[in-house]
Amino acid sequence: MEPARSLWPQIEPLLYGVQRPARYIGGEQGACAPERRARQVAWLLCYPDTYEIGLPNQGLQILYELLNERADALAERSYAPWIDMECAMRRAGVPLFSVENHLPARTFDVLAFNLSAELVYTNVLNMIDLAGLAVRSSRRAPSDPIVIAGGHCAFNPEPLADFVDAFVIGDGEEVVGEVNEVLAALLPTCTGAARQELLRELAGVRGVYVPCLYRPRYEGARLAALEPLPGAPAIVEKRTVADLGQWPYPRRQLVPLTEVVHDRLNVEVFRGCTRGCRFCQAGMITRPVRERSASQVREMVDEGLARTGYEEVALTSLSTADYSGIERLVRDVVGDPRHGGRVSVSLPSLRVDAFTVGTAAAIQRVRRTGLTFAPEGGTWRMRRVINKLVSEEDLYGAVDAAFSQGWRRIKLYFLIGLPTERDEDVTAIADLAARCAELGRRHHRSATVVASVGGFVPKPHTPFQWAPQDTAAELHRKIVLLRGAARGVRGLTVRWHDPEASVAEGLASRGDRRVGSVIERVWRAGGTFQEWSERFDLRLWEAALAAEGLSFDEMVHRARGREERLAWDHVSAGLHTDFLWEDWQAALSGAAVEDCRWTPCYDCGACTGFGLEHVVASSVPPAGGSQGTWQDLDQGGRIPVRFVSRR
């Protein structure tokens, strides 16, 4: 590796001519500025979006702490420079750098990317290029940094397979140490053929996928197989942290020096979800449910507030209102006299059927934070298809509870373009939202409802992974239909996500390795920050597809068959393919299934490897759950383990 030398003298003059220079200076409370020592693996943790989007990311912050606690590792951070800064850097010959010590990216041993959204893929390529590396992994020198990626999007790694040396599948807390041990042992000798040997050793770590050890084979326009080379596993199993209570991270949440999204103390209360929404990739790939004990959550809140000075706490998960004993937990946090009555609690993810007047009252005791409910579908038929078992009575009850406790603005989230959708399902969204606005006006004359509409994108490892995706033209037609139905409704605003961006997301979501060349063409044509509406350009994607002899019709808009090889079949999220297919068939027939946390097992496969059901923190199930279906290990309901053998 090149000697580490700070680039700050070259960076500082650039900051006078760019927006938000605080993005690039570091120095946040909670940050490390590690000094390099011999025999340490140096990690640069990269978030492929701007600082204000990337800094609050909990996954990156957790790995940052874990690595810097190790004697054989150190970690710094880097974020995608905005357009103005990138131009200034390229003109001045300044490469990608870390924000802690402002060291060149290529002086690190590892560049590790968090993949939280598909449309950031062009930014990944841009950051690799800014680091001074060949974009394609096959063209890198033996002494170049190893490029690693993880996050939810890594469950289909193929679109980035030609650019990333290794992917980590699943939870990172345990596997990052194992990866570091391999790197610490082999990096000192990493020249020539030794780099290939290092990659083979990484492939031997459970949960690590090394793309260069697999060869795709195509038959006509379709992927026929992804063949592992000798020694590579045929199936890469995800990593799952069984006991979240053993990992109370981040302990030192970063406190930014400038405005960022989600600028508050974030405490993860549980991981996983068993509601079984068929469109939701996160809910499928993060099973089983693992809750922290209420006592640990309170401890993390208390220590975090004392250290950061924040006055707002977000209790995070995929569906925080499902946390067992959530009302008592919120009351305990808000009512703690040590906080002086100044701390508010927000629940960023709310299930309509798990939100009560008691929860609303507890949340708003200090101040009312934003409320978003996600019915997803406009009709009961549609919600049964997607397995979002929220009745209209559930929705109206939750909305009325919120307005009755003083909220004046509520956001509702819906999807359009769902399988089996009819026009009446679309217009019903306006009817549902109008009724909610009417309920609000019973409590406040100025009450408003915002109906936010996104285009459905079929995701890997979900029952809808075989579904066709609507064209941009069809999504536009449905938006026009919805706007017409909502026109003139007092207190109702309809907003929507760009249909063209949804189509490009679908391409990157379910694409095979050939889509990598499309992504590279979009990047080389200037298509960075495609997640940002002002930067997205569908014409770049259309031109790139045409140049590669591919099409949206083939890659995005057609249904997949049961026997078709899917690009991600070599990656296991722990779910049986038969379970997903049967759930897809159930969706087409409008059949729904209950939350398996409180009902008998459906044998989806997620719990099989652990011999357990789910890990909960209280003997009181959330609203909508059925009691008496499991044994609590502690009469106080404070122990976060419930290991119940299925065998």
Residue 369: per-residue pLDDT: 64
Nearest to 71 by CA among 184, 199, 206: 184
Nearest to 86 by CA among 94, 75, 76: 94
pLDDT tens-digit profile of 545-560? Answer: 999 999 999 999 999 9
Upstream peptide bond of 250 is cis (omega within 30 degrees of 0)? yes
Taking residue 3's Cβ as centre, other Cβ atoms within 10 Å add up to 8
> Is the pLDDT reported for residue 366 higher than 90?
no
C-alpha 65: how far from its chain's center?
19
Q: Ranked by mean pLDDT, which of 364-368, 532-536, 599-603 comes out on top?
A: 532-536
How much of the chain is in helix, strand and coil states, percent to nearest 5? 40, 15, 45
DSSP state of 365: T
Residue 481: per-residue pLDDT: 98
* Contact (Cβ atoms closer than 8 angstroms) between residue 83 and residue 528: yes
Q: What is the mean pLDDT of the chain?
A: 91
C-alpha 278: how far from its chain's center?
16
> Is the pLDDT reported for residue 289 higher than 50?
yes
Q: What is the mean pLDDT of residues 121-145?
A: 97
**Residues 6 or more apart in contact with residue 397 via CB below 8 angstroms:** none
Whole-number Å distance between alpha carbons of 416 and 399:
22
DSSP per-residue string spanning 431-454: HHHHHHHHHHHHH-TT-EEEEEEE
Whole-number Å distance between alpha carbons of 75 and 64:
6
Whole-number Å distance between alpha carbons of 383 and 386:
5
Count Cβ atoms within 10 A of the Cβ of residue 190 and give its class: 0-12 exposed, 13-18 middle, 19 or more buried.
buried
Residue 351: per-residue pLDDT: 75
pLDDT tens-digit profile of 506-565? Answer: 999 999 999 999 999 999 999 999 999 999 999 999 999 999 999 999 999 999 999 999
pLDDT bucket at 431, cuts 50 / 70 / 90: very high
Biggest CA pair distance of the chain: 73
pLDDT bucket at 609, cuts 50 / 70 / 90: low
pLDDT tens-digit profile of 145-179? Answer: 999 999 999 999 999 999 999 999 999 999 999 99
Residue 47: per-residue pLDDT: 98
Whole-number Å distance between alpha carbons of 181 and 171:
17
* Contact (Cβ atoms closer than 8 angstroms) between residue 331 and residue 364: no
**AA identity, residue 15:** L
Left (φ > 0), alpha (ψ -120 to 50) or beta: where does 526 sit?
A: left
C-alpha 515: how far from its chain's center?
21
Residue 368: per-residue pLDDT: 64
- Counting every residue written for the chain, the total comes to 647
Nearest to 550 by CA among 160, 225, 218: 218
Nearest to 617 by CA among 328, 239, 276: 328
Residue recorded with tokens 């003059």: 13
Residue 631: per-residue pLDDT: 30
Residue 580 token pair: 């997903």
> Is the pLDDT reported for residue 646 higher than 50?
no
- Interaxial angle between packed helices 499-510 and 538-547, expressed in degrees from 0 to 180 and rounded to the nearest 10: 40
C-alpha 97: how far from its chain's center?
25
Residue 620: per-residue pLDDT: 52
Say what percent of the chain tops pLDDT 90. Answer: 79
More confident residue, 80 or 631: 80
The SS3 call for residue 100 is coil
Whole-number Å distance between alpha carbons of 581 and 262:
37
> Is the pLDDT reported for residue 642 higher than 80?
no
* Contact (Cβ atoms closer than 8 angstroms) between residue 515 and residue 555: yes
Residue 643: per-residue pLDDT: 28
Domains of the chain from N-terminus onward? 8-237 (3.40.50.280), 264-370+578-647 (3.30.750.210)
pLDDT tens-digit profile of 468-490? Answer: 999 999 999 999 999 999 999 99
Nearest to 571 by CA among 183, 270, 160: 160
Residue 190: per-residue pLDDT: 63
> Is the pLDDT reported for residue 60 higher than 60?
yes
pLDDT bucket at 647, cuts 50 / 70 / 90: very low
Residue 611: per-residue pLDDT: 61
> Is the pLDDT reported for residue 370 higher than 90?
no
C-alpha 583: how far from its chain's center?
23
> Is the pLDDT reported for residue 249 higher than 70?
yes
More confident residue, 543 or 629: 543
